[in-house]
Structure 1
């Protein structure tokens, strides 16, 4: 139950910061603790209360918003946060993970050699993920027509989905879509091949 009129917001969608927001529940202050992402990177969050504003951008930094609206910033460490909020952290679902699998030129079934390690890691993560929901987005490079690449990128997404189903993921937990050559990872001139663009992106959440 929120006890102040403070506002907490990420400045951009790209921040991907995980916030531990512990609202007052009858006991001030409201507390916002910034946790690092799984890869160790840290986003940032803006805390506003009345006319006051502070940016939190360091891992395990917290902002306490008092009943009067004051913002008090302090730092904790991982052990302290885990000791105080371990049960809460353990109860949250796993953070989304993204994997990129690359294909050889003009193929929807033959993977690029460097994708073997990605597939192995993907299988390892899926084995421990509770009730995963997966989104698979197929892509193509900028060679060929739009129509051809729409078909090819969809076939790539379907190929990955079939692999996931064989790995034990129920089909109803998998969504597929295709972007053709509309969203290249590496921008090239039209008609120029690039192996990084021949891919399927799998997001687990």
Structure 2
């Protein structure tokens, strides 16, 4: 007969560490357990929560966190990236000259992005009627979606929507054209 003794077996504590966003901003997290709560609001501060609910605060440096959790941090998905492509007046296919560089940047990001999910939202300026602008905005979104499919993004990973003149980048009076509002916004996540 075999006897197995598990002496002093402990479940490791749950660990929560607060990381800053890419711009260095830090929010706050309130950690609740069976026996209390703790707020962490400093970069690289953390808590260990034992199976009994005891909360112990920790504080590491960025270098320590980067070294200790390098594999975990490397496995995080990329943060969403947004691109804006501008169109010529009343066109759903002709891009404004300033969009050429944006298209190059978009292609470069797509070439390195693992399994992208893409949202494309078409917009117009306030020069046309609501119905006309809604249709034009959708055609702009569909033009960009077709381009993305040609770049190798599966169509089922692309969502299109149109806002028409409802969300102008530059507010103007109704009926007033503005080139900054003739756009498609592409978000890759």
- TM-score w.r.t. length of structure 1: 0.75
Matched, 1:45 2:46: no
Of 63-72 and 85-94, deviating more is 63-72
**Distance change >3 Å, CA 167–CA 66, structure 1 → 2:** closer
Q: Does 1:101 align with 2:85?
A: yes
SS at match of 1:30: strand
TM-aligned CA deviation for residue 155 of structure 1: 0.8
Quote the Cα distance in structure 2 between the aligned partners of 1:55 and 1:115. 42
Whether 1:26 aligns to 2:18 is no
Structure 1 counterpart of 2:3: none
Give how far 1:28 is off: 2.8
Provide, for residues 76-96 of structure 1, a one-character-per-residue CA deviation record: whole Å limited to 9, x for no partner.
Answer: 21x322211111122222222
- Higher relative contact order at CA 8 Å, sep ≥6: structure 1 or structure 2? 2
Q: Name the counterpart of 2:100.
A: 116
Q: Size of the alignment, in residue pairs?
A: 176
TM-score where L is the length of structure 2: 0.81
Q: For the residues of structure 2 that align with 1:41 and 1:139, how far apart are their CA atoms? A: 32
Deviation >4 Å, runs of 4+: 50-53, 65-71
Q: Structure 1 residues 26, 143: closer, same or farther in 2, change over 3 A?
A: farther
Uncovered stretches (5+) of structure 1, i.e. residues with no partner: 1-24
Larger gyration radius, structure 1 or structure 2: 2
User: Which runs of 5 or more residues in structure 2 are unaligned?
Assistant: 1-9
The one of 127, 138, 150 aligned to 1:166: 150
Whole-angstrom distance in 2 between the partners of 1:149 and 1:28: 56
Asked if residue 83 in structure 1 is aligned to residue 67 in structure 2, the reply is yes
CA apart distance, 1:69: 5.0
